[in-house]
Chains A and B, each alone.
Chain A
Amino acid sequence: MTNPIDIAAKATPAPVARRVRGLSDRAIAWIFVTPTIFLLLAINIFPLIWTVRLSFTNYAANRPGREVEWVGLRNYTRILTDAGTWENMQTTAHFLIWTIVLQVVIGFTLAWLINRKFKGNDLLTTLIVIPMMLSPAVVGNFWTFLYQPQIGLFNYVVELVTGTPASSFSMLGPGGLAKWSIIIVDTWMWTPFVMLICLAGLRSIPDYIYEAAEVDRASKWRQFWTITVPMVLPFLMLAVLFRGIENFKMFDMVVLLTGGGPGNETLLASIDLKREAFEKWRTGYSSAYAIILFVTVFGLASIYVKALNKVKER
């Protein structure tokens, strides 16, 4: 054992040998990814394929004994030619457009104000974001209390500010206000979301760009439109697409606030879908409906991922 080569060999660790002893990287990659993919296949993709299959039948889940017939594309043609569907789509679009407009305007303004970096802006930001983390169902439920025409806080505040008697209008009753009631609650909840993303956008703009603009004697107004807005725009797009997708699927908050009523005034597509599927039990028909909605959201989602990559590249 006095041979210097032996000593050197002993002192040298054998990383290569040990690396081979463990699993290969390839094997680990598979072992790590497979459970996730399997779970998603079982609980997302398999049901989705099942929905597609059901959408070509007249199956009704509450009558398992009945013979199931293939109806081809009949469910799809019925949905797309039904006037009710288009009314729901309009209701959904009204909700979608107004919530996005209000949230972008208020959210961006707030972010812009917070970016003045006054004392305590961190604390206020944290307080402002609280509503968006709360359960939409519980939020919808407690806003029905705030919206009570006789006793609710909302009507009382409106009376204080505008002088309109509190009992003269009902946000959730007939009279056309219901579709605004859901927009108000959604805006209350999700404006902070747009605000946070805009704030990140504003903070990503390096100071030297403004300094250069100042040297060039660009007015503050011009700086705002030629620097601030274009630099924040990709972030804003991201926020809009997020809100668009989420509100297209909107179910929980609205179902507890208005339940789609009064009449069909706030019947968003997903609430209509729930009625068809779990109240009228037209499983085949509602499966086709679900597929139509999913394809629409999926289209939005692919645009979203493209925008997301653009933001990430910056």
Chain B
Amino acid sequence: MSAYSVTEPTRSSKWFAGLLVVAYTIITLLPLVWIIATGFKSGPDSISYPPKVVFEPSLEGYVNLFTTRTRIASDDFAALPPPETWYDQIVRDTGMVIAGQSRFGERFMNSVIIGFGSTFLSIFLGTLAAYAFSRFKVPLKDDLLFFILSTRMMPPIAVAIPIYLMYRELGLSDTHLGMILLYTAVNISLAVWLLKGFIDEIPREYEEAALIDGYTRFQAFRKVVLPQAATGIASTAIFCLIFAWNEYAFAVLLTSGNAQTAPPFIPTIIGVGGQDWPAVAAGATLFLLPVMIFTILLRKHLLRGITFGAVRK
């Protein structure tokens, strides 16, 4: 028998706690599992009642997501040459033919470009500012840091009106550059606060030693601080990326075609006679999957990221 400890929970309480948490996990993941499953259902299966738990998997949703389809007269349909590809076949089975590509691929790429562009920019500017705030006597430091944080508190719609007008004047409406700048401005507060925390944790002695060895301040920053802060920079980058990836309000108000990202697009996916749920689910799955993977990678720094560095584990 192990030594008695008052703080170690008893075996039975561990079991009980574990059981309850497992139950919660199952309930909370059910909607996600359901959406992923719906993406692999056929149209009729997706709207059957009672909901089908066991179903024949189909790629119809994914094919519909990437294509537009039309119904043609039955005589013409019968006269068509046999389908050439597997996705042709899937569409034919539903009594339609492929008319062209959908815009999902484009929107997804816009999300990628704007997400990575704004992440790069926020990390670049954020690291510089965070280093300065961490190491130097910046006049009004606390006020500036609070100012940076407070910009995050603004309701997006409150600044959307003048940004909309400003972008219209500058020709930035519905452009990648406009969205990248905007998301950078939103993300930079998070980047500065998080990175300042990470840089604060690097002992100053390392740089001081480098300075004595003859490095300039800038060299010390580049060759000593940056490598030490790499993990922090990487996790901050993932947080910025997830924000830009998920953002909806600005995207729906300031973009319409050219630079529209996936979140405003996915809800507009409609099929013939109502929303095409398997296609919506397929789009949602493709869109959410990267974030799920990143969340698992980030789990050690998650708390820090969501509290702007206020709580560290």
Is B216 touching A156 in the complex (CB atoms < 8 A)? no
Is B155 touching A273 in the complex (CB atoms < 8 A)? yes
Q: Hey, which chain A residues are within 8 Å of B295, CB to CB?
A: 126, 129-130, 133
Interface residues of B (CB under 8 A from A): 6-7, 9, 13-15, 17-18, 20-22, 24-25, 28-32, 34-35, 38, 46-51, 125-126, 128-129, 131-133, 135-138, 144, 146-151, 153-166, 181-182, 184-185, 188-189, 192, 211-219, 221, 242, 245-249, 253, 263-264, 266-267, 275, 277, 280-281, 284, 287-288, 291-292, 294-296, 299, 302-303, 306-308, 310-313
Q: Hey, which chain A residues are within 8 Å of B166, CB to CB?
A: 46-47, 50
With contacts A23-B217, A311-B310 taken as known, whether A138 is within 8 angstroms of B287 at the C-beta atoms is yes
Q: Hey, which chain B residues are within 8 Å of A197, CB to CB?
A: 303, 307, 311
With contacts A133-B291, A146-B31, A242-B307 taken as known, whether A151 is within 8 angstroms of B51 at the C-beta atoms is yes
- Majority secondary structure of chain B interface residues (helix, strand, loop or mixed): helix
With contacts A124-B22, A126-B299 taken as known, whether A270 is within 8 angstroms of B281 at the C-beta atoms is no
Min C-beta distance of B96 to chain A, whole Å: 22
With contacts A138-B263, A151-B48, A197-B311 taken as known, whether A290 is within 8 angstroms of B17 at the C-beta atoms is no
**Would you give the 0/1 interface string for A108-150, flagging 1 where the beta carbon is closer than 8 Å to chain B?**
0010011011111110111111111111111001110110101
State which residues 209-233 of A face B: CB under 8 Å. Answer: 210-211, 214
Is B216 touching A137 in the complex (CB atoms < 8 A)? no
Please tell me the size bucket of the interface on A. Answer: 35 or more
Is B311 touching A166 in the complex (CB atoms < 8 A)? no
Q: Hey, which chain A residues are within 8 Å of B22, CB to CB?
A: 124
Q: Hey, which chain B residues are within 8 Å of A166, CB to CB?
A: 49
Is B218 touching A23 in the complex (CB atoms < 8 A)? yes
With contacts A43-B185, A120-B18 taken as known, whether A48 is within 8 angstroms of B155 at the C-beta atoms is no
Q: Hey, which chain B residues are within 8 Å of A251, CB to CB?
A: 155-157, 248-249
Min C-beta distance of B161 to chain A, whole Å: 5
- Majority secondary structure of chain A interface residues (helix, strand, loop or mixed): helix
Is B18 touching A121 in the complex (CB atoms < 8 A)? yes
In Å, the complex CA distance between A28 and B103 comes to: 46
With contacts A151-B47, A298-B153 taken as known, whether A47 is within 8 angstroms of B263 at the C-beta atoms is no
Which residue of A is nearest B160, CB measured?
Answer: A277
Which residue of A is nearest B178, CB measured?
Answer: A43
Q: Which 6 A-B pairs have the closest CB atoms?
A: A22-B216, A137-B248, A290-B158, A43-B185, A47-B162, A135-B246
Quick check: is A29 within 8 A (CB to CB) of the other chain?
yes
Min C-beta distance of B111 to chain A, whole Å: 10
Is B17 touching A118 in the complex (CB atoms < 8 A)? yes
Is B7 touching A211 in the complex (CB atoms < 8 A)? yes
Quick check: is A63 within 8 A (CB to CB) of the other chain?
no
Q: Hey, which chain B residues are within 8 Å of A54, CB to CB?
A: 161-162
Is A297 touching B155 in the complex (CB atoms < 8 A)? yes
In Å, the complex CA distance between A36 and B133 comes to: 12
In Å, the complex CA distance between A283 and B32 comes to: 39
Q: Hey, which chain A residues are within 8 Å of B308, CB to CB?
A: 308
Q: Hey, which chain A residues are within 8 Å of B291, CB to CB?
A: 133-135
Quick check: is A10 within 8 A (CB to CB) of the other chain?
no
Is A40 touching B151 in the complex (CB atoms < 8 A)? yes
With contacts A50-B162, A200-B311 taken as known, whether A36 is within 8 angstroms of B263 at the C-beta atoms is no
With contacts A14-B214, A32-B129 taken as known, whether A277 is within 8 angstroms of B153 at the C-beta atoms is no
Is A142 touching B281 in the complex (CB atoms < 8 A)? yes
Which residue of A is nearest B150, CB measured?
Answer: A301
Is A156 touching B181 in the complex (CB atoms < 8 A)? no
